[in-house]
């Protein structure tokens, strides 16, 4: 039987989602908790890979197991066992062929920029006090919707087979003393969102024109785009699936 796990985590203490040698990851900590409590090795497959320091308000992973009699009790025990920066919200049955990564139809990220010094959001938002032109940044965001190849925003020497992503939403909003960027797409390349935000900041500062942004995307050259913004301002906020995957 296949189960989906809905969870959230603060990524500050972790080297991203995916297991890697000599570094503590979210996947490693979760698999240890599941395996310890269930008495047998449990392997989790995530909906994607968040980078070091990136947070998730909603991450989905799947695992295979026999019938779980009391899911609420398992969730309670897992949350008691796990560190405070990882929280399990739900575990539910899905069709056996469903896959947390490949069946996701969209992923939504938000990036938070604090426009003033704030002692309480120092680890949650990127403090950038120089004035940014929000209208220009939103105009630049619309440019993204007209393209599909985003190699210019991908980490160099990436092992992906295609740089094609279908961006369905990209916009900036002012919320109190923060600027929040929301972007939704079928998939994302490694480092893509942080590189996009860094490039749109260049647009907001007047250092890059809209035509210049178009040229950067067409160049497929990472060195032409802006610097990547810090990871601690980035949040995976939603992973969307077809409603039909969940068993009633």
Distance CA 200, CA 204 (A): 6
Catalytic site residue from 51, 73, 123, 135: 51
Q: Is 51 a catalytic residue?
A: yes
Question: pLDDT tens-digit profile of 178-234?
Answer: 999 999 999 999 999 999 999 999 999 999 999 999 999 999 999 999 999 999 999
Architecture of the domain delimited by 2-102? 2-Layer Sandwich (3.30)
CATH topology of domain 106-237: Alpha-Beta Plaits (3.30.70)
- The angle at the Cα of 207, spanning 203 to 210, to the nearest 5 degrees, equals 45
| Average pLDDT, rounded, for the chain | 95
Domain locations along the chain: 2-102, 106-237
> pTM value?
0.95
Name 197's Cβ contacts closer than 8 Å, sequence gap at least 6.
111, 113, 181, 229, 233
State the average pLDDT over residues 105-131.
Answer: 95
Instruction: Judge if 2-102 and 106-237 fold alike in CATH terms.
Output: yes
Dihedral in degrees, nearest 10, Cα atoms 123, 128, 193, 236: 30
Question: pLDDT tens-digit profile of 120-148?
Answer: 999 999 999 999 999 999 999 999 999 99
């Amino acid at each position: 039987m296949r189960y989906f796990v809905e969870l959230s985590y603060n990524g500050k203490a972790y080297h991203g989602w995916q297991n890697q040698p000599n570094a503590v990851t979210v996947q490693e900590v979760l698999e240890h908790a599941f395996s310890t409590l269930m008495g047998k090795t449990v392997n989790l497959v995530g909906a994607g890979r968040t980078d070091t320091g990136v947070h998730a308000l909603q991450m989905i992973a799947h695992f295979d197991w026999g019938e779980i009699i009391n899911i609420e009790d398992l969730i309670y025990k897992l949350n008691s066992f796990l560190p405070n920066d990882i929280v399990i919200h739900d575990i539910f049955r899905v069709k056996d062929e469903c896959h947390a990564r490949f069946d996701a139809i969209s992923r939504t990220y938000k990036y938070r920029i604090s426009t003033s010094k704030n002692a309480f959001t120092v680890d949650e938002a990127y403090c950038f006090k120089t004035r940014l032109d929000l209208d220009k940044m939103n105009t630049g965001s619309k440019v993204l919707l007209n393209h599909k190849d985003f190699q210019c925003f991908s980490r160099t020497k990436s092992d992906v087979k295609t740089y094609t992503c279908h961006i369905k939403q990209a916009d900036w909003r002012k919320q109190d003393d923060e600027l929040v960027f929301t972007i939704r797409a079928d998939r994302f390349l490694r480092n893509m969102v942080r590189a996009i935000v860094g490039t749109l900041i260049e647009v907001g500062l007047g250092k890059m024109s809209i035509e210049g942004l178009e040229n950067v995307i067409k160049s497929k050259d990472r060195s032409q785009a802006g610097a990547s913004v810090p990871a601690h301002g980035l949040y995976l906020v939603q992973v969307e699936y077809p409603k039909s995957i969940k068993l009633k």
